[in-house]
Amino acid sequence: MTMMDELRMAALGEIECDMVIRDGELFLPTCEFVKGDVAVHKGVIVGLFDDYEGKVEVDADGMWVSPGFIDAHLHVESTCLTLCEFSKLAVPRGTTTVVCDPHEVANVSGIFGISELMMEAKGLPLSVFFTIPSCVPASPFETGGAELGLKEVKQLLCCDEVVALGEVMNFPALVGGDKKLMDKVQTAHRVDGHAPLLGGKELSAYILLGPKSDHECTTSDEALEKLRKGMWVMVREGSSAKNLDILEGILDEGLSLSRCMLVSDDRDPRDLKKGYFDEILKRVVEMGVEPGDALSMITTNPANYFRIDGHLEVGARADLVMLSEDFCVHEVIKDGKVVAEDGKLIVSPKKYSFDESLKKSINVPVLDEDMFKVRVDLDGEVCVRVIGVREGSLITESLRYPLSVENGEIMEDVDRDVLRIAVIERHKGSGRVALGFIHGFGLQSGAFGSSVAHDSHNIVVVGINPRDMMRVVDRIHQMQGGWVVCDGDEVASLRLEICGLMTASPYEEVVKGIERIESELMERGVEISSPFMTLSFVSLSPIPHLKLTDMGLVEDFTPVPLVLGGCSDA
């Protein structure tokens, strides 16, 4: 008997089904809740509403039965966890599918790193689809560890688990007709976008050339323009970037939410431990979104966009969530089997052993503390560009501050929260160090740094003095990746040994490590939440406005000098 014959017989009720879920309020593709039963066989939904017998019968007791939740845009590397450890946090909260953009691993280790993530994904109680990074490196103003050209992109797009070309970050290049990027975009059948603050004719050209979604909207007006021009809007609610409030303007205009999705993009494991979409759904409904529309944004809408399973319908994969009307997840079914109950995973994800080469990704020479000093041939005061970071936003400000010069060195100004920042190239061993100043962290002593710095993931460090900054970089090199705080001596660290981005350690240990290292920063004056997450985006030159890469300051895709001149000249 073939599989299809067996499924046919189960649908006709001629054989007993593997599972029947009784007495649920089924959330259907029609965006309505209808009381009924679900029949499941061999991991597939074979029947709805009709009378079936099951080897296992589950009483939903009037709870909602929804398709499993889908995170349509996630960089799993931002959790600091492997996919295995991530699944332990995500699945019990109702997420059964994620669409990963392995942009971070790709920038460090290229096609090999992506293939390793794909291998890990095979042994999990979680469906993992991939989008293929389109911009590696993300811009010409930084040094990455790898490059994905048209040949590599074509090769990866042929993989079964690949659903799209990943976010096209270099929108000026695409709109400007860059042939290499246009060739990649035209190769893919579906293309994710990344177009912060892009509007008008440039946005129209961007959409015309291929990208059909965007997760970078920070205002309702931006989201409305993109929706009205035909884009799908991924409403981001991550740990660093929080844009849920853009829904208010969409609701005020009375627009359909059928082209809106909820995504996380980048998520701190501590936030995942507190809640995932179950927590976000509550807030969305409090904003005035109907429960059915809210659920659609993490089930049917992303399924329609990517053309993957995500509906509670006959013939679909049996990925289901039973939840109460307050969005508390009680039971999670993956491929027709119960995998989580009352917030606990009851299966064991298969742990994957990553290739050792991915644990040797930090390549920097011995550095001298003088390399962290900004030298000028001026005296007195100079006016400099300063990166301004803001809570809950990836968009940085381009500020101007007068700073004093002592013995030819531009000094920090701790009283005004103007600190030193450096980015050290870590892939080629060039020893290149780019210097600048940053405002917004509030650090009063010491230094802190990370090997996670979007998108090329060079080492980024912020500090009060060159010596502590040098010690931070040395320790990151010794650990082959991670987060470090130094204040005279090493104070705290978190090892991220896989590509300098993730660790295979249990999520419980990672959460404790993050709490410990961030508490040390709080004691030293840092008030911004998720400071390492915020730090990781100050090098991301495709995001406005002022950023620092290993090649220097970049403002709105244009290299700019640090020093504007003497204060009287600026």
Domain 1-62+311-341: homologous superfamily in CATH:
Urease, subunit C, domain 1 (2.30.40.10)
From CA 463, how far away is CA 441, in angstroms rounded? Answer: 10
Beta strands in 169-237 (DSSP E): 191-193, 213-214, 232-236
The domain 69-308 is placed in CATH, from the list 3.60.70.12, 3.30.2010.10, 3.20.20.140, 3.30.1360.170, at: 3.20.20.140
Count the Cβ atoms, other than its own, within 10 Å of residue 59.
12
Q: Are 547 and 396 in contact (CB under 8 A)?
A: yes
Mean pLDDT of all residues in 272-298: 96
Query: Would you call 370 exposed, middle or buried from its count of C-beta atoms within 10 A (0-12, 13-18, 19+)?
Result: exposed
Token output for 151: 């040949």
Q: pLDDT for 27-51, tens place per residue?
A: 999 999 999 999 999 999 999 999 9
% of the chain exceeding 70 in pLDDT: 99
Average pLDDT over residues 337-364: 96
Residues 6 or more apart from 177 whose CB is under 8 A from it?
A: none
| Cβ pair 336, 19 in contact under 8 A | yes
> What is residue 566's predicted lDDT score, i.e. its pLDDT?
67
pLDDT tens, position by position, 548-559: 999 999 999 899
pTM: 0.93
pLDDT at 131: 98
DSSP 228-268: HTT-EEEEEB-SS-B-TTHHHHHHHTT---TTEEEE-BS--
For the segment 523-544, what is each residue's pLDDT rounded down to a tens digit? 999 989 889 999 999 999 988 9
Going from N- to C-terminal start, the domains of the chain cover 1-62+311-341, 69-308, 358-566
Phi and psi at residue 114, in whole multiples of 5°?
Answer: -65, -45
Q: How far is CA 468 from the centre of its chain?
A: 30
pLDDT band at residue 516, thresholds of 50, 70 and 90?
very high
- Please count the residues of the chain: 570
pLDDT of residue 567: 65
CB atoms within 10 A of CB 181: 22
Quick one: which H or E segment has residue 477?
Answer: helix 466-479
pLDDT at site 444: 98
